[in-house]
Chains A and B, each alone.
Chain A
Amino acid sequence: MTEARHGLHAKLAWRRGDMVLDVDIALPPTGITALFGPSGAGKTSCLRAIAGLERASEGRVTFGHEVWQDSARRVFVQPHRRRLGYVFQEPSLFVHRSVAGNLDYGFRRAGRPAHLDRQGLIERFGLRGLLDRGVGGLSGGERQRVSMVRALLSDPALLLFDEPLSALDANARSDLLGCLESLHAELDLPMIYVSHNIDEVARLADHIVLLDQGHVVAQGALQATLTRLDLPPALAEAMGSVIEGAVVGYDAHDQLIELDFPGGTLWLPHRHEVVGQRLRCRIGARDVVLTQAPLAGTSALNQIRCRIVAMADADHPSQCLVQLDAGGSTLLARITRRSWHAQGWAPGNEAWAQVKAVALGL
């Protein structure tokens, strides 16, 4: 049984200025877990505490069979003995070393493990031509790619990402997101990904931990958690459903792709997807219109037949959140109370979710 089978468990409490952080997080042993929340929620502090960079935290952190911190028994394993990779928001490259020197810093200290494909990672992240360069002349995206490969080459048992894309421009961000998606598909490594960007989270994460004001509000599987109706107002913008399916069609003329997901199909704008690939797509609760029946004469390309599961108050008194079952996938719609009452809906009723394809373009 490998250490990763047990995953990470962190139960920590500490003060940071006026804020009290108190978190109890249990992560599954594989896949990407997002730490998500509004800025100031304590996501980064949480990640730093897990890494052992936040000495003020009290509590217990275990990873697999290893105890990383146990304040009651005065156990504190230094970060360099935790076998973790940490990708910071700013790439934080060593300016006195070349790109190759940066990449090999952790690789050498890990004993150049044979199971790590150094060359392959360098190729995949497009760093081959940069190896001999100094880090001063690199673009933001290149720097962050170096810092990611540097972390991967240190042979981590757990990878931590602290908003690695937030300082990048749209192109670099999309590139790196692709790299991360492919890593996710291939690596067995558990990863924690801190972000306040719900679209990034929707594309990458399998699990999510929602943080607000230093506390864990909810944690669990991504889809189930983001469609819960009892999340606090601070997380309202994140609410919506994430569906996953296979690309089954491509309309070259209209530049649209068709996604087959449990519960129906969706048309959405084509970027660089190919038929046959798996794709995730986030449908924000604000982007869903509910109707009693399918409409003719609408510009909404997607009409999905659903059953109403439940309704709950939204963060604004004029609005409510409606949870829908599309026949295997859960959708969420944010509508006005006026509409809800005007249509006379109740849980169990049939309704049609209208989703603009335009709203699905990431």
Chain B
Amino acid sequence: MALLSDQDLLALGLTLRLATTVTVLLLLLGAPLAWWLAHTHSRWRRPLAAVVALPLVLPPTVLGFYLLLLLGPNGWVGRAVAAAGLSALPFTFQGLVVASMLYSLPFVVQPLQNAFESVGVRPLEVASCLGAGPLDRFFSVALPMALPGVLTATVLGFAHTVGEFGVVLMIGGNIPGQTRVLSMRIYDHVQAGEYHQAHVLSLCLLLVSFVALLCMSLLRPGRHARD
């Protein structure tokens, strides 16, 4: 007997694809946001930081519910998407990506922001006096110095997306190969009384999470390596 059924493998593949897509997009979009939050003196900094942190405390179902309204055929995002001639987002993989990005946003933005803040302004000033322009400074100084934070953001963003359930339930549904991710599959197994399969998949998730966190702590410079 195979340890994982085809359906299980499909869910596993989908989950990994979702998590990878979301993590990459979040790093690309989250970095400028985190940079701005770390360096701005704007009065909008705190309100925006609070919005970014919302998914930390909000029940995923609430987030999913609002997203469903927003992205649905009557929501203004949904209407804009329809007007642009694109297919509706709810109950599609793309919709799931959008939702997951919002859901995992703080897990990527906050480590990045902390890392940029701990790099501080001084190395950037030094670089600037050595002739480096803003983009040059970002890539040659800020990013390499913030690398531990980037790794943390990657791992947390990935692991958190792998483990989501509530948002998927609300906005993704349970469509094989489209939106049926691992956590949904586990739920199905339990509902059907298939505890053995649920066990296998749960163990997979547990292992992924553990390995992710272990990698994170191994990749970080040691406690005494930096002073």
Contacts and interface: CB of A to CB of B under 8 A. Distances in A.
B145 interface: yes
Contact of B145 (A51, A85, A94): A94
A299 to B, nearest CB: 49
Given A78-B133, A136-B226, A136-B227, A92 B128 contact: no
Contacts of A150: 130
Contacts of B194: none
Contacts of B125: 53, 79, 86, 88, 92
B128 A95 contact: no
On chain B, which size bracket covers the interface? 20 to 34
A88 B128 contact: no
A78 B124 CA distance: 13
A83 B132 CA distance: 11
Contact of B141 (A88, A94, A110, A151): A94
Contacts of B57: none
A151 B130 contact: yes
A90 B226 CA distance: 17
B128 A96 contact: no
Given A88-B122, A95-B226, A109 B130 contact: yes
B39 to A, nearest CB: 12
A160 B129 CA distance: 10
Nearest to A153: B130
Interface string A266-292: 000000000000000000000000000
Nearest to A79: B128
B47 interface: no
Contact of B132 (A88, A90, A96, A109): A109
A94 B125 CA distance: 11
A154 interface: yes
A80 B133 contact: yes
B32 interface: no
Main secondary structure of the interface of B (DSSP, over half): helix
Given A92-B123, A94-B145, A95-B145, A78 B130 contact: no
B127 A105 contact: yes
A92 B131 contact: no
A178 B133 CA distance: 33
A97 to B, nearest CB: 8
A88 B126 contact: yes
A335 B147 CA distance: 61
A78 B125 CA distance: 11
A221 B130 CA distance: 30
A78 B129 CA distance: 9
Interface string B191-215: 0000000000000000000000000
A106 B131 contact: yes
Contacts of B130: 80, 85, 105-106, 109, 150-151, 154
Contacts of A80: 127-133
Contacts of B144: 96
Contacts of A78: 128, 133
Given A92-B122, A95-B145, A95-B226, A84 B127 contact: no
A51 B225 CA distance: 33
Contacts of B140: 105
Interface string A75-108: 0001110011110101010111000000001100
Nearest to A85: B129
Nearest to B127: A105
Interface string B129-159: 1111100100011001101000000000000
Nearest to B141: A94
A247 B140 CA distance: 49
Contacts of B122: 88, 90, 92
A84 B145 contact: no
B222 to A, nearest CB: 12
Contacts of A94: 123, 126-127, 141, 145
A171 B64 CA distance: 65
A248 to B, nearest CB: 42
Given A78-B133, A80-B132, A95-B145, A86 B226 contact: no
A160 B126 CA distance: 12
A47 to B, nearest CB: 11
A96 B226 CA distance: 10
Contact of A96 (B145, B225, B227): B145
Contacts of A154: 129-131
B129 A151 contact: yes
Interface of A: 51, 53, 78-80, 83-86, 88, 90, 92, 94-96, 105-106, 109-110, 136, 150-151, 154, 160
Interface of B: 122-123, 125-133, 136, 140-141, 144-145, 147, 225-227
Given A78-B133, A95-B145, 5 more contacts: A78-B128, A80-B130, A84-B129, A85-B130, A86-B126
Closest 4 CB pairs of A and B: A106-B130, A86-B129, A109-B131, A96-B144
